[in-house]
Amino acid sequence: MFAVFAMAGEHFSRPPIDWHAASPELILLGVGVLLTVIDIVWKERARALVAGLASVGLLAAMIPVITLAVDGEPRSMFGGAFVVDDYALIMKAIFLLSTYVVVLMSTNYISEGDYWENEYYGLLLTSVLGMLLMTSARDLISIFVALELLSIPAYMLSTWRKRDLKSNEAGMKYYLMGVFASAVMLYGMSLLYGSSGTTLLSGINEAVSGSGGPSAVVTLGIVFVVVGFAFKVSAVPFHTWAPDTYEGAPTPVTAFLSVASKAGGFVGLMNILFVGLIGRDDVYQPLIWILAAASMTVGNTVALRQTNIVRMLAYSGVAQAGYMLAPLAVLSTDVVTTGGATTIVADQALAATVTYLAIYAAMNLGAFAVVMAVARKTRSAEIDDYRGLFRYAPGLTVLMTVFLFSLAGIPPLGGWFGKFRVLEALISPGTAWGSALAVVVAVNSVVAFYYYGRVAVKMWVEEVPDGNMDRVSVPASLAAALAITSVVTLAFGVGPGLIGHFTQVSLLVGVGG
Amino acid sequence: MLLNQFLLLAALLFCIGVYGVLVRRNGMLVLMSVELILNSVNINLVAFGALTDDVGGEVFALFTIAVAAAEVGVGLAIVLLMYRNRRSIDLSQADLLKG
């Protein structure tokens, strides 16, 4: 029997591995394993270490991301299944930094709540590892494995408060919806594989482009795949899990889900649409159009009548997912000329979505950080308990106003620039459907301003309900999270060139085939 | 090759699974329905792989089986947790969060 293996060994040669390109993932994997080992060996004594170690690991993984970006050369491994290009690197940086902020937010919350600290950070890093893999995945198998790697730890994290019925329910709903969605998506992937005979996205693109091939099977495959990702990014009508899970899960986990996990879904969707299905815009364009318009409209209208700020942010997140989906609805390989410069529509749409994702990560994490800080005093997430916040916590009030107004898209804050890029991407192809969606975006921005503004009015104008004027104690790590997110939100608004320079990425070149 | 029969079987399993997820209110049965969908995917992948004589389909199916096992492990833990805390795995009773 060993002889068989030995013979097989002679013919088997390992595919070349570019260690530099894979090093962000390898560092995270190493730190994740280290956290687990420390937990097993030192048990309770490890508690003081884990949060620090996790943040060091996340920042250490940033180093190869930066060196790869300086190097600038697109790298491809495993026959084009793992690609590191500018787009993958900018998304990796967004994932690592936003998770670093989540760790800063978690430090006090998790240790004071007497949760299982060591496992918490291990699972958080595992989930980020899945997201980093997703940015580079250009193959159905690696996309599927990355999606599960980022989802499975997230199911456990949202059930983190084991004795709490609400947390149980949050995890249960998230889990059932999540597995159902990935099963449906997998069925779609099997159909795409069947109609092209390869799992590589570039090969699928060649097989399904144009009218050649079994069209009904391809259409069904595309629909199922898009629906599967629509669950992940909480687009209407597949958003029902989001508000319940966000309310029941521990708040730092909610922040993580609403930013990193959602961005992970977007990255997977963009990889498949841009690299694998760009030739079938007749199928996915109407589908994404409906999803985007429905998410914005339903998300914003339901957010109007929420009384809990976490649920309000959940529905606002549904609406924001609609804004980020919108540019993907005009995706095509057509070329537009604006002001003498020619760009491909798809590149412009990609840049708009990536820009919005980066800004959304900063402003949404910031809003959740303020919610956590206020809850340290009031022990509540009801919007009515934000009345008179300015009287006893002026700093937090100013920050919350910045984040909410940025989410609403008011200049000169980051969210405004994000919306501007989305509208630009929608209008410049000059199609009727694109312009119609731009109108939907504009109308929804006005509606959204009502509920963001309502919270601001409660904070600034109204009186403190119970007259309790005690200060809110903000621990150092939470303050650091607030500082990072607010600086980023302001900087992207004041100097749009900052982010605009980095997010001019393309997925149509250097995909390894 | 008898491709159609395999695809029809997979489509049937898929439909039963989706029906189960949408209609059943028992946590365990919903999990089993998801498993049905995943198995229909495996049938599809292996059938397509055999048709095109490409090993990628079988490899994909193996990955699906492995990942599904991990997924079900977590799912059973969550269902068990729910049973410990409320002595029931009826999903329609899980209605603390709404609005």
Where do the domains of chain A lie?
A: 19-502
Angle at CA A323, nearest 5°, toward A317 and A325? 100
Q: Does an H or E element contain A83, and which?
A: strand A82-84
| Confidence band, pLDDT 50/70/90 cuts, at residue A8 | low
Q: What is the pLDDT of residue A501?
A: 67
Q: Where does A258-415 show beta strands of DSSP type E?
A: 335-338, 341-344
Cross-chain residue pair B71–A243, CB shorter than 8 Å: no
Query: Could you write out the DSSP letters of every residue in B26-67?
Result: BHHHHHHHHHHHHHHHHHHHHHHHHHHT-THHHHHHHHHHHH
Predicted pLDDT of residue A379: 82
The least confident of A330-334, A436-440, B50-54 is: A330-334
Yes or no: say if A299 and A239 are a contact pair by the CB < 8 Å rule: yes
- How far apart CA A173 and CA A165 sit, in angstroms, is 12
Answer yes or no: is pLDDT of A3 > 60.
no
Task: Please judge whether B60 and A180 are an interchain contact, meaning their C-beta atoms are less than 8 angstroms apart.
Answer: no
For residue A176, the chain B residues in CB contact (below 8 A) are 21, 27, 30-31, 34, 75, 91
Contacts of B67 in chain A (CB under 8 A): 144-145, 148
- A326 contacts: CB under 8 Å, gap ≥ 6: A292, A296, A422, A425, A426, A437, A438, A440, A441
pLDDT at A292 over 80: yes
Q: Which residues contact A98 (CB under 8 A, 6 or more apart)?
A: A259, A260, A263, A361, A362, A365
What mean pLDDT, rounded, does chain A reach? Answer: 87
Closest CA to A258 of A108, A101, A419, A398: A101
Cβ atoms of A185 and A217 within 8 Å: the answer is: no
Output the CATH code of domain B3-88: 1.10.287.3510
- Confidence band for A430, pLDDT divided at 50, 70 and 90: confident
Structure tokens at A25: 């993932």
d(CA A258, CA A235): 12
Amino acid occupying residue A88: A
Could you read off the pLDDT of A336-390 as tens digits, one per residue?
776 666 777 888 888 889 989 999 999 999 999 999 999 888 888 888 888 888 8
Instruction: Look up tokens 């629909």; give the residue.
Output: A223
Domain ranges of chain B: 3-88
- Predicted local confidence at residue A212, as pLDDT: 56
Say whether residue B90 is in contact with chain A using an 8 A CB cutoff.
no
Q: Rounded CA gap, A290 and A299, in Å?
A: 14
Amino acid symbol at A362: A
Q: What CA–CA distances, in Å, run from A367 to A149, A264, A413? A: 27, 20, 14
Q: Do the chains contact at B75 and A168, CB–CB below 8 Å?
A: no
Under an 8 A CB cutoff, do B67 and A148 touch?
Answer: yes
Residue B89 sits at the chain A interface (C-beta within 8 Å): no
pTM: 0.91
Per-residue pLDDT tens over the stretch A224-235: 999 999 999 999
Interface test with B, best of A143, A166, A187 (most B CBs within 10 A): A187
Position A512 scores a pLDDT of 35
**pLDDT on residue A495:** 75
